[in-house]
Amino acid sequence: MPSRFLTAVAWVAALSIAAWGTACAGSGSAGQPVASETSTSQMTAVSSTVGQSSTGRPSTTEASATTPTDLQTPTGVVPVEVDQLWGLIDPTGAWVVKPQFTNAPFFSEGLAAVQVVASGQPGKWGYIDETGHWVIELQFENARSFSAGVAPVAIRTEDDRLFWGFIDKQGNWVIEPRFQDAWPFAEGLASAQQHPEKEGGDKYGFIDKTGAWVIEPRWTFADSFTNGFAMVQAGNPIGFIDQTGKVIRKPQYYYAETFSDGLALVRIHPSADKWLFGFIDENGAYAIEPTYFPASSFSEGLAAVRVDGQKDMGYIDTTGTWLIQPQFDQAYSFSEGLAAVRPREGPGFGYIDKRGAFVIAPQFSAAGPFTDGLAVAAIPRPGAASHSEEPFPRLYGYIDKTGAWVIQPQYVLAEPFANGLAHVRLMDTDGYIDRSGNLVFSQPWQPPVGIWR
């Protein structure tokens, strides 16, 4: 699960990676951006987690109903945006709920927090089920996803003060609103921020489902627990705590990701102009010393890394041993047993197995991770300008694990399938296709002003 937590520096880096991924083909599964031939200079950490280069939690003033950590794929419905309003379609492309929400409805435990427009302005928040039925009526200033049967929501007092608390699925308060910020429960605890008017402070800690502080507030930010650990921040650097509140690594990192395969990717700054990545274990000790730039989190037992100052990337195991020797110009995380790589000398991206052998020969100008047996891949767009400012340099399609085109490259944007549908874009059409490539939903689309065809 990606982290909401990010320092300001890492947030900027994540935005650049997310933008790069979007420019290539949207975001890949597990958040890995689609690899492209032009992405080397923009890569700060090849993440296994969209932007999962740890998309950061917004500040209280920036917070919306859902964050990357909260988003869960709905079952049987897909969010679609039309004229800046969101609705839901089914796998045939039929409207389940016509566009009326300011946010994309993502479901958790059968409910989605949504906001409607009132008098031309963003209005209140409430919760719908997958049929669009209002389960909890519009009444909140903000609302987040359900987890463990409860959800954090915000109310505004008559004197314009905002307080967060938790409700159950009937809309009843289970923890009265008294926090300045609050996030969904994870592994039995929820990150919450003191409200100065209620508790005299503004630090983050962790509460249980009675609202009692289990880990006393002392942090400027605190991420949700994942695999028994949470990232916390004191000032700018990031550290880690366990579920007792014990600090396993004091805040000292400028970028960090959640634990995967027992290790967490962290970044240090030995000097103002130098970044290095390494991995810590669950005791907070370096399992693999920070000697890499860039590096990915572990996925399927392997991490893509490049030793700082060297030319080529390869793959290490959780002991730091090279399992696939450095030989690639670009290398991305494994997904469904395969990883997209680009040889330093070769015609483009291909896919290797965990022995480092090519299963799909290098041939693509962009390549994404496999999800449910398919991956987004691309070829150069015929007639596209050769300069770097060309907005649509590639055509995207979908390949299977043999490298055969299942859906021919024809789209200027393509995203992974979810619930049987994938978001795609042609030069004049935005829509969703099924796994056979049939366009089940479409609407006219024109490039933004200033972008030519």
List pLDDT tens digits, range 70-122: 445 446 899 999 999 999 999 999 999 999 999 999 999 999 999 998 877 88
Q: Which helix (H) or strand (E) holds 10?
A: helix 8-25
Q: Name, of 51-55, 103-107, 289-293, the range with top average pLDDT.
A: 289-293
Q: Which residues of 248-286 are buried (b: 16+ CB within 10 A; e: fewer)?
A: bbebebbbbbbbbbebbbbbebeeeeebbbbbbbbebee
**Which pLDDT score is estimated for 121?**
81
Mean pLDDT of the residues in the chain: 85
The residue with greater pLDDT, 232 or 11, is: 232
C-alpha distance from residue 84 to each of 87, 99, 195, 448 (Å): 10, 9, 33, 14
Q: For residues 328-343, give the mean pLDDT.
A: 98
**Which pLDDT score is estimated for 32?**
53
pLDDT at 339 exceeding the cut of 70: yes
Query: Measured between alpha carbons, how far is 223 from 4 in angstroms, rounded to an integer?
Result: 6
Locate all alpha helices (DSSP H) within 202-300, ordered by sequence. none
pLDDT at 341 exceeding the cut of 70: yes
Q: Which helix (H) or strand (E) holds 118?
A: strand 112-118
At 113, the amino acid letter reads A
**Cis peptide preceding 294, ω within 30 of 0:** yes
Whether the CB-CB separation of 265 and 295 falls below 8 Å is answered with: yes
Task: Give residue 29's pLDDT band: very low, low, confident or very high (50, 70, 90).
Answer: very low
pLDDT digits (tens, 9 = 90+) for 392-421: 999 999 999 999 999 999 999 999 999 899
Maximum Cα–Cα distance across the chain: 66
**Which pLDDT score is estimated for 236?**
87
Whether the CB-CB separation of 155 and 142 falls below 8 Å is answered with: no
Task: Give residue 385's pLDDT band: very low, low, confident or very high (50, 70, 90).
Answer: confident
Number of neighbouring beta carbons within 10 Å of residue 15? 15
Whether the CB-CB separation of 409 and 399 falls below 8 Å is answered with: no
Q: Name, of 72-76, 165-169, 444-448, the range with top average pLDDT.
A: 165-169
**Which residues, in sequence order, are bridge partners of residue 425?**
413, 430
pLDDT at 66 exceeding the cut of 90: no
What are the φ/ψ torsions at residue 399 (nearest 5 degrees)? -115, 160
C-alpha distance from residue 179 to each of 183, 217, 275 (Å): 10, 11, 36
Whether the CB-CB separation of 411 and 428 falls below 8 Å is answered with: no
Task: Give residue 212's pLDDT band: very low, low, confident or very high (50, 70, 90).
Answer: very high
Query: Measured between alpha carbons, how far is 255 from 381 in angstroms, rounded to an integer?
Result: 36
Number of neighbouring beta carbons within 10 Å of residue 400? 14
Whether the model pTM is above 0.85:
no
pLDDT at 260 exceeding the cut of 60: yes
Q: Specify the residue for token string 């399609």.
A: 397
Residue 2 neighbours by CB under 8 Å, 6+ apart: 31, 49, 50, 51, 52, 54, 55, 68, 69, 257, 258
Burial of 64 (0-12, 13-18, 19+ CB in 10 A): middle
The residue with greater pLDDT, 25 or 436, is: 436
**Which pLDDT score is estimated for 34?**
73
The HSE-up count of residue 406 (CA atoms within 13 Å, CB side) is 20
Beta strand 221-222 pairing with 229-233: antiparallel
pLDDT at 266 exceeding the cut of 70: yes
At 192, the amino acid letter reads A
Residue 195 neighbours by CB under 8 Å, 6+ apart: 163, 178, 179, 180, 202
**Which pLDDT score is estimated for 342?**
98
Residue 71 neighbours by CB under 8 Å, 6+ apart: 106, 145
